[in-house]
A and B are shown apart, each in its own frame.
Chain A
Amino acid sequence: MERPDEDTYERRFERVREHVAAMSRRKFLAIPGILGSVIGGAFAVFEIELLKGKKFHLRPPGALAEEKFLATCLRCGQCAQACPYNSVRLAAAEEGIAIGTPYIEARRIPCYLCEDLPCIKACPSGSLSKEISDRGNVKMGLAVIVDRQACIALQGLRCEVCYRSCPLMGKAIALEFRPHEVTGKHAIFEPVVNFDACVGCGLCEHACVVDIPAIKVLSLADAKGLMGRHCRIGTRIG
């Protein structure tokens, strides 16, 4: 005879069935979920829009424009692992929406602009564009003499270090000579960046001999001006 409190198979089965029935009667409240995601989503959109373009990161060669880059880079670090000079690091969590993306700190280790561009080859997402096969076509940023007073060449000393460090020496950085107006007999060798040729690898920024570099790689947007179409330059040849 079965005792009423005995835990028989039938009783267990009954409990399991009741539980399943109870669970299928329970409705998941979709309204709070939808409400929550809409509010959370709106907040996230707002935050991200605020954080967009806050800081310039020097990206590895071939990187798409920043917005496109943040839309496609998988933050996998394969470019960083492929770089023989360990130039590429991944952004820390402090970097907000750029977290995990690769960047180069030129003053620490610049991009040495490898002939075969292994970083581009390693990228699985097309964020480093495979269309760039010649290192001369790379455009990571533009080098700019940001402080003419800190540049010792502009103070009349012989330096040329940035000029000599440039992988496109003579093309991306040229030296322009002019007489030193103070002494009257010396010359100033001014490093001048040609924006059409500069790839933005940061070798000059890395090499600059003064304590805080007088030449820095800036983003294209920060470095470039625009002449305006109505300007006619009669002296330009060709």
Chain B
Amino acid sequence: MILRNPVSEKFRKWLVIRRAVQISVVALFLLFPLTGLAWIQGNIGAANLFGLSIADPLSILGSVVASKKIYVPALAAAGIVALFYFAVGGRAYCGYVCPAGFFFEISSSVRNLVLKALSRPKRSGWNLDLSPHIKYYTLIGVLAVSAVTGIMTFEIFSPIGLATRVISNDFVAANPNGQNLERFAAAGPSLGLLVLLGIALFEAVFSKQAWCRFVCPLGAFYSLVGRTSLLRVKIDHADCALCLNCQADCPAKYVLDRPLAKEQTYITMGDCTNCGSCIDACPSASLKFALRLPWRK
């Protein structure tokens, strides 16, 4: 945190890649409602990708717990997705795919713009910092409540669901189901949109990406997947000057603690999103993506 080199002018390769993927995901889900081209149908909860049924594994887990029944095709659809994130890094979902995460990331950065306009340092002002463990309690909580009530609980308040339905079902002019378009004209934004904007505003004022960092049960689920994931950031201690530029840019700073202290060569904590910000920030190219066997430290 002391030796902060001026790397901000550097081309941030992984940021560009990540933004490209995030935008493509949204565009892909807009494709069918806007053009009728059926590459992918459905939304982030469950979709049909070129004829392959894929589904959010936590959603399927929720439905199994709520209905106390197993529907094999749905399980297979979730298994494919879980395997994919096992390979590319659990919370890579958060960093590259999740439409709510994308929205909150962008809306939270309003905060930085405001601070910049006021010429105040980047991390000044209100900064509500909670424990990243909270999300595991939300995860257990939504599954327990689903089991007791027999209703899929996370789906009721999920901003991910709200966001994905805005993309796939709401603001699409060519789609007569665009109920919110009609409603928007008649009565202003829907409750769902207000909830999304409310969270975004809260994060912009009090705590950047608070939902994703502290609360989201899906983030917690993918964090568990990420602990054994194959693709992880590897640190080469030989050239690392401990400038801590990487940590300054990391959205989950604590994941870099042990690797920097030379206790590990891989980032093993599940909260790493494989966003690559640390790789972009490192002036000595000591960080890179590498294949990690689940038991390696």
Contacts and interface: CB of A to CB of B under 8 A. Distances in A.
Interface of A: 7, 9, 12-13, 16-17, 19-20, 23, 28, 33-34, 36-37, 40-41, 44-45, 48-49, 52, 67-68, 70-78, 80-82, 86, 88-90, 92-94, 96-97, 99-100, 109, 122, 124-126
A75 B166 CA distance: 13
Contacts of A68: 67
Contacts of A52: 149, 151
Contacts of B66: 70-72
B261 interface: yes
A34 B175 CA distance: 44
17 contacts: A12-B242, A33-B131, A40-B141, A44-B149, A48-B156, A70-B66, A72-B66, A72-B67, A74-B155, A81-B33, A90-B179, A92-B180, A93-B195, A99-B156, A124-B73, A124-B74, A126-B71
A76 B46 contact: yes
Contacts of B180: 92
A125 B162 contact: no
B79 interface: no
B9 interface: no
**Interface size class for chain B?**
35 or more
B41 A81 contact: yes
Interface stretch (B48-56, B107-115, B118-126, B223-231): B48-56
Contacts of B56: 74
A96 B133 CA distance: 28
A23 B156 contact: no
Contacts of B177: 80, 86, 88-90
A99 B192 contact: yes
Interface in B17-35: 32-33
Contacts of A44: 141, 145, 149, 153
Given A33-B134, A48-B153, A99-B156, A74 B261 contact: no
A75 B241 CA distance: 49
B267 interface: no
A86 B181 CA distance: 15
B156 A97 contact: yes
Contact of B63 (A9, A13, A74): A74
Interface in B25-83: 32-33, 41-43, 45-48, 53, 55-56, 59-60, 63, 66-67, 69, 71, 73-74, 77
